[in-house]
Amino acid sequence: MNNKFWIIVREVYRKNVKSWSFLVAILAPILMVGIIFLISFLSVKSTGVMDKQKIAIVSDVDAVNQVFKVANKNTNESSDLIAYTQTSNKDVEYTFISSEDKAKEELKKQKIAAYIVIKDVSNQLVANIYSTDATIQDQISPITQMINGVQSNINVQKTQISQADLAILGQQASVKQKTISFEDSGKIIEGEDYSAIKSVVSYLIVILIFFFIMFFATSITQEIASEKGTRIMEILLSSVPAKTHFYGKIVGIILVVLTQLISYVLVFGLGFLQIKNSFGGLIDQALKNIDLNKIFGDGFYMVIPIILVSFALYIVVAALCGSLVSKMEDVPKATQPIVYIALVGYMGTLALGNGKDTIILKVLSYLPFTSTFAMPTRLAKGVATTFDAWISVLVLIIATLVILRFSAKMYQSNVLIYNDNGLFTSFKEGLGYMKQNRKNNG
């Protein structure tokens, strides 16, 4: 039996992995992301943003020129003159031009992205930035900071205030928004406000789960219905028990699903590394400021087992629905119950997930089928604990095993039933055969 079981698993896996639909499923999201990235890359490249921008400085103020020369070194060099300036900007190269007319000519020939005319008017620096478009918009803030730093030093020299006193006078208030939650013991937990990030992530998780469930459910339904449609089951069941055949197909499709998910992880992982190398330290700097545990809580990793067990549950139900039809043309009808079941969790979570952690959302997060969407949403929003997630996983596992056992018996009963009376009629006939088999075996 074990040998026959693994033969079925191998054949189902090999047939699906070699199919065009599997290849399209692997490549479609990759191509979509690749096209989006390529369009963004070409758009940015055409504007010159990815190249190191050249900005010309037109000024006879020595302190200003010194600050921008230091900025070209990409170091945090410090001195009394530039103590309060930002002197590291890897995306910009500053050049120095003696007159504004020459700077205009260079800008016209697109040899520079912009030029800045900086003058000292009665101990006040007056700077005008000239460019032909908005590509240097991101550089205005650091440029302004450097010029203000020089102005601060001029103010120090004029008023003879010490650098330490100036630092005190320039100190600004720190205003941050924090969120707090209360444990059952009454303890207050304080943190930053990540509600916007949590909402976006929760929506993305729900949408992706729904997309994959629909794809995988259709695959297993077609797999089961295809053999019934060719009437080859009579030959297969003469050598392999129906339950063994059913379990083999389920395991084969689950392995296909895992292969597909692993392929996504590998491809997007390699893509991320390539993007990371292309953008230098920009990605590293962004990742330093991201702490998933701090944003989502310690239990966010539980989304992975919840999704995997949920996929297995929906695959089992899809196999049951596939056994209720007699030909491939009826596959869309067979997937309708799965769509309706998934839509309840999908739409319910989207409707309730954007508000507070309501009692309805909590209940949905523990029920089979709806917990697939509700619990990952609660975990992403940081309102569910790791213990809550484990309860949800346990319920999903129990539901999967119970439905798997029932589906195998139903498959055994109706696998040779051929009629066009609809899913409900086939289901009733299957239940009748199950009762008859139980009496015969009893």
- Contact between 93 and 55 under an 8 Å Cβ cutoff? The reply is yes
pTM (predicted TM-score)? 0.64
Output the pLDDT for position 397. 95
Q: Of 337, 378, 336, which is closest to residue 354 (Cα–Cα)?
A: 378
Residue 46: half-sphere exposure toward Cβ, Cα within 13 Å: 6
Q: How far is C-alpha 162 from the geometric centre of its chain's CA atoms?
A: 51
Return the bridge partners of 94, or none.
55
Distance in angstroms (rounded) separating the CA atoms of residues 241 and 221? 20
Highest mean pLDDT among 70-74, 138-142, 291-295: 138-142
Q: Which amino acid is at 432?
A: G
- Which parts of 185-319 are beta strand (E)? 188-192
Q: Strand 114-121 to strand 124-131: parallel, antiparallel, or no bridges (unpaired)?
A: antiparallel
Output the pLDDT for position 295. 63
Q: Of 223, 213, 229, which is closest to residue 251 (Cα–Cα)?
A: 223
Least confident of 204-213, 236-245, 373-382, 393-402: 236-245
pLDDT digits (tens, 9 = 90+) for 188-213: 555 555 666 777 777 888 888 888 88
Distance in angstroms (rounded) separating the CA atoms of residues 423 and 330? 9
pLDDT digits (tens, 9 = 90+) for 208-228: 888 888 888 888 888 777 766
Two structure tokens written together for 334: 């067979």
> Which DSSP letter does residue 82 get?
T
Distance in angstroms (rounded) separating the CA atoms of residues 89 and 150? 17
Q: Show the domains of the chain with their CATH numbers.
A: 53-161 (3.40.190), 196-441 (no CATH)
- SS3 label, residue 135: coil
- Contact between 26 and 263 under an 8 Å Cβ cutoff? The reply is yes
- Contact between 260 and 25 under an 8 Å Cβ cutoff? The reply is yes
